[in-house]
Each structure stands twice: as C-alpha cells, then as structure tokens.
C-alpha cells in the first residue's frame, strides 16, 4: 500500500497542477470578457430612434448560409439592421467589411447585393474585401478608409468586441445591435466561441497585433481625403 501511494503521488500532483491551470485559464478568459463588456457601456443601441447619427455604418461580414446550407439568420438580421439605420437617416454610407480570401466566397459582395435588394442605393455602399476578422475590419476602417467615427452593425456580443478594438485604435465607435438569433445549439456554441474571441481581442491589443493586410489609404467620400468609388470597390489584397 505504501509503495502504491508513493507511485500515485506524481499522478495526483500532475492532476492538481492541471486543474489549477484550467481554473486560471477560466478566470483569465472571464476577466477579459468583463473588461471588453465593461468598456462598451453606453455605446450599444437597440433602438434606431435613439442612436446618434454617424456618417458611416460599418457592417461586419458573415456568410449568408450556414455550414448546413440553410439561410444564416445572423446574416439576415445584420442586413436588415444596416438597412434600417440607412432609411432612418442615422448613417449615410455603409462600409461592408468581410472575408474574400478564397475563390467563390465573397462576404462583402453578397451583403452588398442583399442591401440593394432591400432598396439601399449601390452608390452609398463601399466594400472592404480584407476584413478577414473583426480586428482587421476595425483597424482598416481607421487606417485604410480613414474613418474617425463609425456605427458598427452586428449582434450585441460581436459589437462589444468590435468597440473594444476600436477604442484601442483611435476609432470612435458606437454600435447598433442586430437582432439576436436563438438557435439552442448554435447559440451556446457561438457564445462560448465569442468568450474565447474576446480573450483573444484583449491579447491582440496587449501585444499590438497588426491586421493581415493594410495597403494604401482609400477614404470614403466626405472624409478628410477623397477617393473614387470604383477604386474602393475593386480594392483587394495581394494573392499569395
């Protein structure tokens, strides 16, 4: 018995060390989520009538369809929220920032077509094809499209992270919350994933992460500089 206990001591010790590491990770992730959420107080809006006017709405991209090929309600709700802001005269332009990193997958163009179908004029829509992730979208809105102030458009949990990133890159941002989606399984999975994403956003800020690609400045008309719409529309990133 005595020898058995001696042999088991290293295993118990490793078990406790592992448990302590898990607890510390959970605490750190929870702390980062609190920091992000706390930084957005008073900057998130659910009512189109009360949200302040901003020149540009920054619509964050997502796929129009889920992995199972059905309509992505997150996508639909974001499109409707962006159109609602525009027709309420709360924004004058819509900058769509999304992923276009592989052939046949083009979030910005899909969202542009959906907005046009709702009656939003094509002339007020601008596309950022290099918004590979939320961090890139926010930094590029500031550095490439030269915006100092935007209204972010996505679901609340996503908006929280976007605003936190904006605050650390001298971009004044408020957000309009698109309607949430309450699919039981995907809701829990998405929010668990978002908790990790908020943790990573804090690390990105702490370690001065840079976007995958920036490129030459291309301001939206009415900004400090000038740009041709076609140049913005065709803007992409170098192919590997």
20 in any annotated domain: no
pLDDT in tens, 90-107: 999 999 999 887 776 889
Higher model confidence: residue 226 or residue 173? 173
Which of 178, 158, 220, 182 lies closest to 84 in space, CA to CA? 178
Which domain does 117 fall in, by range?
Answer: 43-234
Check residue 114 and give its pLDDT. 97
Which of 209, 196, 193 lies closest to 135 in space, CA to CA? 209
Check residue 100 and give its pLDDT. 80
> Is there a contact between 167 and 124 (Cβ–Cβ < 8 Å)?
no
4 in any annotated domain: no
* d(C-alpha 175, C-alpha 167), whole Å: 12
Higher model confidence: residue 53 or residue 7? 53
162 in any annotated domain: yes
Backbone angles phi and psi of 177, in degrees to 5: -85, 115
Whole-structure pTM value:
0.83
Q: Where are the alpha helices (DSSP H) in the chain?
A: 2-38, 73-87, 107-117, 134-143, 156-167, 184-206, 229-234
* d(C-alpha 214, C-alpha 112), whole Å: 22
183 in any annotated domain: yes
pLDDT in tens, 142-194: 999 999 999 999 999 999 999 999 999 999 999 999 999 887 666 677 778 89
Residue 205 belongs to domain with CATH number: 3.40.50
Average pLDDT, the chain: 85
Check residue 12 and give its pLDDT. 73
Which of 125, 159, 147 lies closest to 46 in space, CA to CA? 159
Quick one: pLDDT band at residue 3, thresholds 50, 70, 90? low
Decide if pLDDT at 7 tops 70: no
18 in any annotated domain: no
* d(C-alpha 186, C-alpha 238), whole Å: 34
Other CB atoms within 10 A of residue 164 CB: 25
How many domains would you assign to the chain?
1
**Which residues are within 8 A (CB) of 10 and not within 5 positions of it... i.e. 6 or more apart?**
none
């Amino acid at each position: 018995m005595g020898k058995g206990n001696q042999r088991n001591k290293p295993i118990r010790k490793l078990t406790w060390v592992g448990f302590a590491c898990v607890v510390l990770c959970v605490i750190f992730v929870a702390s980062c989520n609190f920091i992000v959420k706390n930084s957005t107080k008073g900057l998130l809006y659910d009512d189109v009538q009360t949200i302040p006017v901003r020149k540009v709405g920054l619509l964050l991209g997502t796929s129009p369809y889920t992995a199972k090929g059905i309509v992505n309600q997150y996508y639909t709700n974001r499109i409707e929220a962006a159109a609602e802001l525009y027709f309420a005269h709360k924004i004058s332009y819509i900058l769509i920032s999304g992923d276009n990193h592989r052939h046949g997958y083009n979030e910005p163009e899909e969202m542009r077509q959906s907005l046009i179908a709702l009656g939003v004029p094509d002339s007020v829509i601008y596309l950022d094809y290099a918004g590979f992730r939320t961090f890139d979208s926010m930094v590029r809105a500031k550095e490439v499209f030269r915006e100092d102030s935007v209204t972010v458009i996505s679901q609340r949990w996503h908006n929280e992270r976007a605003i936190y990133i904006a605050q650390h890159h001298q971009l004044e941002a408020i957000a309009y919350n698109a309607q949430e989606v309450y699919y039981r399984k995907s809701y829990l999975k998405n929010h668990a994933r978002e908790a990790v994403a908020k943790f990573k956003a804090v690390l990105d800020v702490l370690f001065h992460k840079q976007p995958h690609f920036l490129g030459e400045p291309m301001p939206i008309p009415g900004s400090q500089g000038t740009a041709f719409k076609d140049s913005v529309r065709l803007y992409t990133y170098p192919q590997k």
